[in-house]
Amino acid sequence: MRPVPAMSAEERRAMGMVRNGAEDYEITPPFLSYRPDGQADLYRNTVIGLAVKWLGFEPLTSLFASWSGSSRAGLFDGIAWLGIENYIYEKELPLRPHLAALRRECAAEFFAGRGGLSRQQMMAGGPLLQQQAARWESVLGREPRFVFAKEKRLKEALEPTGDLAPAQLLQALREIIAEYFHFSDFRLSGAHRPSEGRSLFLRKERSHRDSLLQRGDWEDAAGGQRMGRTAAARAREAADRAYIEACFGPPCLSARELARMEKVLCQDAHAFCRLWVCKSRPEHEHAEQKEALLFAREAAEQAGKNADFIRKERVMVQAGIRSLSARLAVMLENFAQELPETGVRGRLMGERAYRMPLLQDPAVFLKPAQDPRPDLSVDLLLDASASRTASQEMIAAQAYMLAESMMKCRIPVRVLCFRSLRGYTVLQILKEDKERSAAPILQYFAGGWNRDGLALKALEYLETLREDPSSRRLLLVLTDAHPSDSTEMPPEGRSPLKHSYEGAAATEDTAAAAADLRKKRIRIAAVFTGSHSHLEALKTIYGNHFVRIRHMEQLAQEAGTLLEQELIQWRG
Partner 1 sequence: MNKHHAADLLDCLRAEGVREELLEETEAFRKKHPVPAELADRVPAPTYVYYGKAVWEKALAALLCGENLLLSGPKASGKNVLAENLSCLFGRPQWDISFHINVDAAYLIGSDTFDGEKVVFRPGPVYLCALQGGFGVLDEINMARNEALAVLHAALDFRRVLDVPGYARVPLKEETRFIATMNYGYAGTRELNAALCSRFAVLDMPVIGEEDFRKLLKTTFPELKAQPGEQFMRLFYDLERKAAAAEISDRALDLRGILDALRLMGRGLSSGDALDMCICGKVFDPLEQELIRDVIRARLPMDLTGAELFEESKAEA
Contact status, residue 389 vs residue 487, Cβ threshold 8 Å: no
Q: How far is the CB of 369 from partner 1 (least distance, A)?
A: 8
Q: How far is the CB of 49 from partner 1 (least distance, A)?
A: 9
CB closer to partner 1 out of 24 and 245:
24
CB closer to partner 1 out of 31 and 424:
31
- CA pair distance 226, 310, nearest whole angstrom: 48
CB closer to partner 1 out of 102 and 164:
102
CB closer to partner 1 out of 98 and 519:
98
Burial of 257 (0-12, 13-18, 19+ CB in 10 A): middle
Query: Can you say how many angstroms the Cα of residue 237 is from the centroid of all Cα atoms in its chain?
Result: 21
Backbone dihedral angles phi then psi of residue 8, each to the nearest 5 degrees:
-150, 180
Q: How far is the CB of 40 from partner 1 (least distance, A)?
A: 7
Site residues (vs partner 1, CB under 8 A): 9, 12-13, 16-17, 19-21, 23, 25-26, 40, 42, 46, 95-98, 101-102, 325, 329, 347-348, 350, 353, 356-357, 364, 368-371, 373, 408, 410, 432, 434-436
Q: How far is the CB of 47 from partner 1 (least distance, A)?
A: 10
Q: How far is the CB of 361 from partner 1 (least distance, A)?
A: 12
Number of helices followed by number of strands (H, E) in the chain: 20, 14
Residue type for position 52? V
CB closer to partner 1 out of 155 and 281:
281
Pairing of strands 31-32, 2-3: antiparallel
CB closer to partner 1 out of 21 and 144:
21
Q: How far is the CB of 110 from partner 1 (least distance, A)?
A: 18
CB closer to partner 1 out of 23 and 156:
23
- CA pair distance 540, 513, nearest whole angstrom: 12
CB closer to partner 1 out of 194 and 346:
346
- CA pair distance 563, 232, nearest whole angstrom: 50
Q: How far is the CB of 143 from partner 1 (least distance, A)?
A: 27
Q: How far is the CB of 392 from partner 1 (least distance, A)?
A: 27
CB closer to partner 1 out of 40 and 269:
40
- CA pair distance 84, 48, nearest whole angstrom: 9
Which whole-number Å values give the CA distances from 295 to 58, 65, 290, 292, 301, in the listed order? 17, 17, 8, 5, 10
Q: Residue 484 has what DSSP assignment?
A: B
- CA pair distance 179, 127, nearest whole angstrom: 14
Q: Which segments within 398-471 are labelled E, that is strand?
A: 413-421, 424-431
CB closer to partner 1 out of 40 and 455:
40
Q: How far is the CB of 107 from partner 1 (least distance, A)?
A: 16
- CA pair distance 468, 462, nearest whole angstrom: 12
- CA pair distance 141, 26, nearest whole angstrom: 38
Q: How far is the CB of 410 from partner 1 (least distance, A)?
A: 7
Residue-by-residue DSSP string for 287-317: TTSHHHHHHHHHHHHHHHHHHHHHHHTHHHH
